[in-house]
Amino acid sequence: MVRVEDLTVAYGGIEAVRGVSLEVGEGELVTLIGNNGAGKTSTLMAISGMAPIRSGRIVIDGEETTKLPPHAIVARGVAHCPEGRLVFGRLTVQENLRLGAYQRKDSAGVKQDLDRVYALFPRLLERRSQLAGTLSGGEQQMLAIGRALMSRPRLLMLDEPSLGLAPLIVQRIFSVIQQLHEEGVTILLVEQNAHLALTVADRAYVLETGEVRLAGPAKQLIDNPEVRKAYLSQ
Amino acid sequence: MFTPTYVAQQIINGVNLGSMYALIAIGLTMVYGLLRLINFAHGDLLMLGAYLGLLLVSAAFTPLILTLFIPMLVIGFVGILVERLAYRPLRGAPEVTMLITSLAVSSIIENSMVMTVTAQPRAFNLPAGVNQLHTVAGVSFSTLDALTVGLSVALMAALTLYVRNTRTGIAMRAAAENLRAARLMGIDINRVVMVAFFLGSMLAAAAGWLWAAKYSTVEPFMGFLPGLKAFVAAVIGGIGVIPGAVLGGYLLGFAEIFFVGFLPPAYSGYRDAFVFALLLLILLIRPNGILGASTEERA
Ligand SMILES: Nc1ncnc2c1ncn2[C@@H]1O[C@H](COP(=O)(O)OP(=O)(O)O)[C@@H](O)[C@H]1O
Ligand SMILES: [Mg+2]
Structure confidence by residue, pLDDT tens digits, A139-198: 999 999 999 999 999 999 999 999 888 898 899 899 999 999 999 999 999 998 898 999
Backbone phi, psi, residue B134, to 5°: -115, 140
Q: How many CB atoms sit inside 10 A of residue B9's CB? A: 17
Cα(A192)–Cα(B69) distance, integer angstroms: 57
Query: CA-to-CA distance for A115 and B168, rounded, in angstroms?
Result: 23
Question: Which residues, at least 6 apart from A215, have a Cβ–Cβ distance to it below 8 Å?
Answer: A22, A203, A204, A205, A206
Q: A157: nearest CA in chain B? A: B184
The confidence score (pLDDT) of residue A80 equals 97
How far apart are the C-alpha atoms of A200 and A33, rounded to whole Å? 13
End-to-end Cα spacing for chain A:
34
User: Which residues lie below 8 Å from residue A96, measured CB to CB, with a gap of 6+?
Assistant: A87, A88, A132, A143, A147
Taking the CA of residue B87 and the nearest CA in chain A, the distance in Å comes to: 18
Q: Do A86 and B184 lie within an 8 Å CB cutoff? A: yes
CA angle at A182 for the pair A27 and A119, rounded to the nearest 5° = 125
What integer pLDDT is reported at residue B297 of this predicted model? Answer: 43
Q: Taking all residues of chain B, what is their mean pLDDT, rounded to a whole number?
A: 93
| Gyration radius (Cα) of chain B, Å | 19
Q: Quick one: pLDDT at residue B247?
A: 97
Q: What does the pLDDT read at residue A224?
A: 87
Is ipTM strictly over 0.90?
Answer: yes
Mean pLDDT of B131-140: 86
What lies within 8 Å, CB to CB, of A25 at 6+ separation is A1, A186
pLDDT at position A234, please?
54
Question: DSSP assignment, residue B84?
Answer: I
Model pLDDT, residue B137: 82
**Sequence spans of domains, chain B:** 4-116+140-285
- B254 vs B274: CA distance, rounded Å: 12
pLDDT, tens digit (0-9, with 9 covering 90-100), for B246-282: 999 999 999 999 999 888 888 888 888 888 898 899 9
pLDDT > 60? residue A7? yes
For residues A24-53, average pLDDT: 96
Helix extents (H) in A39-185: 40-47, 70-75, 93-100, 107-120, 122-126, 137-149, 167-182
Backbone angles phi, psi at B289, to 5 degrees: 85, 170
Q: Chain centroid to CA B238: how far?
A: 15
Residue B224 pLDDT greater than 70, yes or no: yes
Number of the ligand closest to the Cα of A32? 1
Would you tell me which CATH number, out of the four given (1.20.120, 2.60.40, 1.10.1060, 1.10.3470), belongs to the domain B4-116+140-285? 1.10.3470
Backbone angles phi, psi at B68, to 5 degrees: -95, -45
Beta-carbon contacts below 8 Å between A and B: 63
Percent of chain A scoring above 70 in pLDDT: 100
Cβ atoms B143, B131 nearer than 8 A: yes
- Ligand 1 geometric centre to CA of A42 (Å): 6
Find the mean pLDDT for residues A55-65: 96
pLDDT tens, position by position, A91-123: 999 999 999 999 999 999 999 999 999 999 999
Q: Are B54 and B212 in contact (CB under 8 A)?
A: yes
- Which of A9, A20, A42, A188 has the most ligand 1 atoms within 8 A of CB, as the residue to mutate? A42
* Percentage of chain B modeled with pLDDT above 90: 77
Which pTM was predicted?
Answer: 0.91
Report whether residue A102 contacts ligand 1, using a CB cutoff of 6 Å. Answer: no
Residue B295 pLDDT? 46
Chain B nearest-CA residue for A47: B184
> pLDDT at position B296, please?
42
Q: What letters, b where the CB count within 10 A reaches 16 and e where it falls short, cover B86-108?
A: bbeeeeeeeeeebeebbeebbee
Asked whether the predicted pLDDT for residue A212 surpasses 80, the reply is yes
What is the pLDDT of chain A when averaged over all its residues? 94
- Residue B294 has what pLDDT? 58
Q: State the average pLDDT over residues A130-141.
A: 94
